[in-house]
Structure 1
Amino acid sequence: MSTILLDYAQAALLWVFLPSLALFALTWVLARRLDNWSIVDVVWSFGFALLAGLLAYRSGGPNGWSAFALHATMLTLWSLRLGTHLGFRVLGHLGQEDGRYVKMRAAWGARTAYKMGVFYVQQAIALTILTLPLLASWTDPCGVRPVHLLGLALVALAMLGEGWADLQLARFKRDPAQRGQVCAQGLWAWSRHPNYFCEWLIWVGFALLSWSPLLLGIPGLLCAAGMYYLLNHVTGVPLTEAQLLASKGPAYAEYQAKVPAFWPRPPRG
């Protein structure tokens, strides 16, 4: 067990954190040159696929029908979907920085470049932490078991659910008759944030995919718990709700009274 933990810690440093740090250092240089700090979101999203590819390369390939190969494949698909989604939004409007980063500039003033450097290092740390479940599959390899197939099914279904929720919201926003209204249709009638709920389910699926004989999926379970906390209490629901209350006013307050924030519930007649 101690050997596995030592290998795990060494791999986390050498093959996850240091490559992540190098990636975000290059991103910082590029963002400063472009004068748009928003690109870090795109790089962070694609970072999972890059690290999965690096670990697969270090293992000499997929290593047959292994739990690591399954986990790496699903994490890569998730990463590419998220990165592409954000890429169209951010890279398509390079001259217009995301509002969060505009506020950071205003708050930090002349120290923006330095503060962004610290922020980018934090993103490297976050990427490292969230890649630890995959690293568990890589460090403590095993064949595919029922728990991994359950994780595969959960990730696949949750990705479909998240994509469906995004599609429903996009269609609603494109409808001129719905301008200024609150989307309360389809999955959005069951939860105010079905995309966040599905995102959390994806991480639960990754936790199941990360199960191994010695590490027992513990890194994955910790990441899933952390993701639940972040989505519900830090970056996800609170920020989105505040923005929507400011833009939609009483209509969104009425929606809040009828539809649960996170856990889905059948619509009330």
Structure 2
Amino acid sequence: MPPLAAAVIALIGLVMIFSAVWVWQLKSENAGMVDPVWAYSLGLVAVLYAVLGTGDPVSRALTALGGLIWGVRLGTHLWKRNYGKPEDARYHRFREQWGDQAGSKMFWFFQLQVVISMLLSLAFLMPSYRSTPAPTGWIVLAIVLWIVSVAGEGLADRQLKRFAQNPAHHDSVCRVGLWRYSRHPNYFFECVHWLAYIALSFGTPWGWFTLLPPVLMALLLLKLSGIPLLEESMARRRAGYAEYMRTTSALIPWPPRH
């Protein structure tokens, strides 16, 4: 199937999925479940492109496995974190700001997730349609980047979860493990994940499109919906977080400043 046709199928599917989640949040008044659905659905898009793609079988298989495992791990983590819990502070703030228009504006906010997902899915589309086998060295690099990113993000999530589950740490700032060197190590490894598909697409005519997903993800996390909104809330609620911001790298793990 041509890549444009595969992308159209993915777009229609994502619009339907996020519209269904929007209906769900109308009843629950909790938009937080859009996060795990985003990860799950993007993992499915990776499989879709790999199945419909006409490119090198090895590249398609690695794309499907990489995207699916990443999406299932992240989606399951977010599901366990959000399900049955109060609405995420970011979405609750939007709901308060939008007032009576929250329903309609939330719909378009969810459709914005579709646009972002389609742009990120370029990372899966390009290797699924590469006509020649990827060089062995680039395949190895892609696998190493993928393992480091998924394992690192999983480790950061587990460290934060264990810290938060300790009653003695109530309202304290997590500085254990990777969180000593980065305020958001999970976000750092999330960005690294998208670099794997650049290596897997290297040498293809349209491979440079895979540069967009890691840049977009870093921009979203650093400037828009990730770190700014989260840290604004954390600085108000947790004593010592302002100091943590002054002494600890925002994204890239680095020894803390004194």
TM-score range relative to shorter protein:
0.7 to 0.9
Q: Give the unaligned 5+ runs of structure 2.
A: none
Asked if the contact 1:151/1:205 (under 8 Å) is kept, the reply is yes
Q: Distance in 2 between matches of 1:268 and 1:143?
A: 45
Residue from 52, 68, 73 that aligns with 1:76:
68
Deviations 1:65-86 (A, max 9, x none): x112102211111100111011
Task: State the Cα distance separating 1:211 from its structure 2 match.
Answer: 3.2
Residue from 246, 249, 252 that aligns with 1:263:
252
Deviations 1:241-268 (A, max 9, x none): 222211223x222223322222222356
Alignment of 1:26-37 (within 5 A): 26-37=20-31
Using the TM superposition, name which of 104-113 and 190-199 deviates more: 104-113
Q: Distance in 2 between matches of 1:135 and 1:59?
A: 8
Write the letter of the residue equivalent to 1:116.
Answer: M
Q: Distance in 1 between matches of 2:169 and 2:5?
A: 53
Q: Distance in 2 between matches of 1:159 and 1:134?
A: 16
Residue from 47, 52, 58 that aligns with 2:46:
52
1:18 corresponds to which residue?
Answer: 12
Task: State the Cα distance separating 1:16 from its structure 2 match.
Answer: 2.0
Question: Residues 185 and 90 of structure 1: is their aligned pair in 2 closer, same or farther, counting only changes over 3 Å?
Answer: closer
SS for the counterpart of 1:38 is helix
Using the TM superposition, name which of 196-205 and 32-41 deviates more: 32-41
Normalising by the residue count of structure 2, what TM-score does the alignment of the two structures yield?
Answer: 0.88
Task: State the Cα distance separating 1:157 from its structure 2 match.
Answer: 1.0
Q: Does 1:245 align with 2:240?
A: no
Q: Give the RMSD, CA atoms, in angstroms.
A: 2.5
Write the letter of the residue equivalent to 1:31.
Answer: Q
Deviations 1:174-217 (A, max 9, x none): 233333322222211222221111111111123223335221x3
Q: Distance in 1 between matches of 2:213 and 2:225?
A: 15
Q: Does 1:98 align with 2:79?
A: no
Q: Distance in 1 between matches of 2:95 and 2:242?
A: 31
Q: Distance in 2 between matches of 1:258 and 1:231?
A: 19
Task: State the Cα distance separating 1:131 from its structure 2 match.
Answer: 0.6
2:59 corresponds to which residue?
Answer: 67
Residue from 79, 82, 94 that aligns with 1:87:
79
1:134 corresponds to which residue?
Answer: 124
Q: Distance in 2 between matches of 1:30 and 1:56?
A: 30
Write the letter of the residue equivalent to 1:45.
Answer: A
Normalising by the residue count of structure 1, what TM-score does the alignment of the two structures yield?
Answer: 0.85
Q: Percent identity?
A: 34
Q: Give the unaligned 5+ runs of structure 1.
A: none
Q: Does 1:206 align with 2:197?
A: yes
Task: State the Cα distance separating 1:122 from its structure 2 match.
Answer: 1.1
Deviations 1:117-143 (A, max 9, x none): 211211111111111121112233432
Asked if the contact 1:200/1:227 (under 8 Å) is kept, the reply is yes
Q: Does 1:43 align with 2:37?
A: yes
